[in-house]
């Protein structure tokens, strides 16, 4: 089955073609980062309008890339949530409109299920069951995955997501949006021993996270240095390093705990923050000696993309699941509400 995947939940337009027999055939990605940069974050109305501009030409582009025509497409998958409602509606209405015109099934899929299963697009995909750490701009979650749609939420952030904390820290340090990669770059020049920031909620049992206190700690440190007149470029880099170390350590400790608790030997790390090189190194170092294998999507598929949506949609469409004639756009949609494919 050949499935067209459409992702428009936030600030990336992603389109891809996935074949259940031959794998990924084509994918195209347009990032709106430059457009939102001057506002310091995503402007929802601008995001929706840009998806409208880019989506149809990108669909033509992937068909051309794969040397296929509309008649070769057997189904369409789109991100139905969670995300920005206007942005989601662009993908949902386009997907439903095309499916009706082309007389093929269409299905709205969960954005985080896309991230969760993005490593399935790699040459050595993980086998079920595994533990997944989902770290994006909107979510920080640990999930026990037994199979497609069999997800048990083990823990999540009670306030800010890890990516959000990176973005807010970047803003405090005067770095542009999106902040994750910028903080990581600045941290390379930082001295790891100058500051030690707290590792929130690691001193008590449980698998939940909290990053808002860490953000406040960063701000307080910055203000103290500012007041003392010692906030120079090196101090900024040292703060970036202390923040990154604290976040990565916290994520690593909770992953180790989740693996111990479930007894599982495979860890999937996905979502935008999984692109962080030092997070990967730290997890590798902490888990290799415990005989735990870690799986990531390739760099391009860590952040939002159409390939992960095409993949998830294909797995569910092939099992007979599809939308009725109503398009779906669900800004808030807990991953624990997902179930295995329903035909
Ligand atoms: O998954 P994603 O593209 O969008 C959401 O679904 O939220 O994740 C975007 C998030 C942003 O917060 C961004 O700052 C963060 O991922 N991010 C990173 C890195 N690359 C992206 N955070 C830390 N280090 C990185 N290298
Ligand atoms: Zn995402």
**Using one digit for the tens of pLDDT, what is the confidence trace for 16-57?**
999 999 999 999 999 999 999 999 889 999 999 999 999 999
pLDDT at 77: 99
Q: How many helices (H) and strands (E) does the chain have?
A: 10, 10
Helix axes 179-187, 233-262, angle to 10 degrees: 110
Q: What is the whole-number distance in angstroms between the Cα of residue 303 and the centre of ligand 2?
A: 6
Q: What is the mean pLDDT of residues 179-185?
A: 97
- Which ligand does the CA of 302 lie closest to? 1
* Residues near ligand 1 (Cβ within 6 A): 10, 136-138, 163, 166-167, 178-181, 184, 271-273, 275-276, 303-304
Rounded mean pLDDT of 170-191?
95
Proximal ligand: closest to the CA of 136: 1
Residue whose C-alpha is closest to residue 162's, from 145, 144, 184, 191:
184
Residue nearest to atom 8 of ligand 1 (CA): 272
User: What confidence score (pLDDT) does residue 177 get?
Assistant: 85
Percent of the chain past pLDDT 90, that is, above it, reads: 97
At 2, the pLDDT band (50, 70, 90 cuts) reads very high
Among 31, 111, 136, which residue has the most ligand 1 atoms within 8 Å of its CB, making it the best to mutate? 136
Is the model's pLDDT at 70 over the cut of 80?
Answer: yes
DSSP 298-329: -GGGTSS-HHHHHHHHHHHHHTT----S----
Kindly list the strands in the beta sheet with 75-81, ordered across the sheet, starting from the edge strand earlier in the chain: 23-31, 12-19, 2-7, 75-81, 106-110
Confidence of residue 133 (pLDDT cuts 50, 70, 90): very high
Record the pTM. 0.95
Distance 21 CA to ligand 2 centre (A): 26
Q: Candidates 84, 173, 274, 303: which one to mutate for ligand 1, based on the most atoms within 8 Å of Cβ?
A: 303
Q: Over pLDDT 70: what percentage of the chain?
A: 100
Ligand nearest to the CA of 7: 2
Query: What's the mean pLDDT in 331-343?
Result: 94
CB 310 within 8 A of CB 17: yes
Over the chain, what is the mean pLDDT? 97
* Protein residue with its CA nearest to atom 21 in ligand 1: 272
User: Which ligand has its closest atom nearest to the C-alpha of 273?
Assistant: 1
Cα 136 to ligand 2 centre (Å): 6
Helix 85-102 and helix 44-65: axis angle, to 10°?
30
Kindly compute the dihedral angle of the four CA atoms of residues 155, 161, 166, 170, in this order, to the nearest 10 degrees.
-160
pLDDT digits (tens, 9 = 90+) for 101-128: 999 999 999 999 999 999 999 999 999 9
CA-to-CA distance for 98 and 33, rounded, in angstroms? Answer: 27
| 141-156 residue pLDDT tens | 999 999 999 999 999 9
The pLDDT, as a whole number, for residue 136 is 95
pLDDT attached to residue 343: 74
């Amino acid at each position: 089955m050949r499935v067209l995947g459409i992702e428009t939940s936030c600030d990336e337009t992603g389109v891809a073609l996935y074949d259940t027999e031959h794998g990924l055939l084509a994918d195209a990605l347009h990032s709106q980062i430059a457009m939102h940069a001057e506002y310091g974050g995503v402007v929802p109305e601008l995001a929706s309008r840009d998806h409208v501009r880019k989506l149809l030409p990108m669909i033509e582009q992937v068909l051309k890339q794969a040397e296929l025509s509309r008649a070769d497409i057997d189904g369409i998958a789109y991100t139905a949530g969670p995300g920005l409602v206007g942005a989601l509606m662009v993908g949902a209405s386009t997907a439903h409109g095309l499916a009706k015109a082309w007389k093929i099934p269409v299905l709205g899929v969960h954005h985080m299920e896309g991230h969760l299963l993005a490593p399935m697009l790699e040459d050595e995909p993980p086998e079920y069951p595994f533990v997944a750490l989902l770290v994006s701009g909107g979510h920080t979650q640990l999930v026990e995955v037994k199979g497609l749609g069999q997800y048990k939420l083990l823990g999540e952030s009670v306030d800010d997501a890890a990516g959000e904390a990176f973005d807010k820290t970047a803003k405090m340090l005067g770095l542009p949006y999106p902040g994750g990669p910028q903080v990581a770059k600045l941290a390379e020049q930082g001295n790891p021993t100058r500051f030690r920031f707290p590792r929130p909620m690691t001193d008590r049992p449980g698998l939940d996270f909290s990053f808002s206190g860490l953000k406040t700690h960063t701000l307080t440190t910055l203000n103290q240095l500012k007041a003392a007149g010692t906030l120079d470029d090196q101090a900024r880099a040292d703060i970036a390093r202390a923040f990154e170390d604290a976040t990565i350590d916290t994520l690593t400790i909770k992953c180790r705990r989740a693996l111990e608790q479930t007894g599982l030997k495979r860890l999937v790390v996905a979502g935008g923050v999984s692109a962080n090189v030092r997070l990967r190194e730290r997890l590798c170092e902490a888990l290799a000696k415990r005989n735990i294998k870690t799986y990531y999507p390739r760099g391009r598929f860590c952040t939002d993309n159409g390939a992960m949506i095409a993949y998830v949609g294909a797995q569910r469409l092939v099992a007979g699941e599809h939308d009725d004639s109503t398009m779906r756009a669900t800004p808030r949609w807990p991953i624990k509400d997902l179930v295995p494919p329903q035909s």
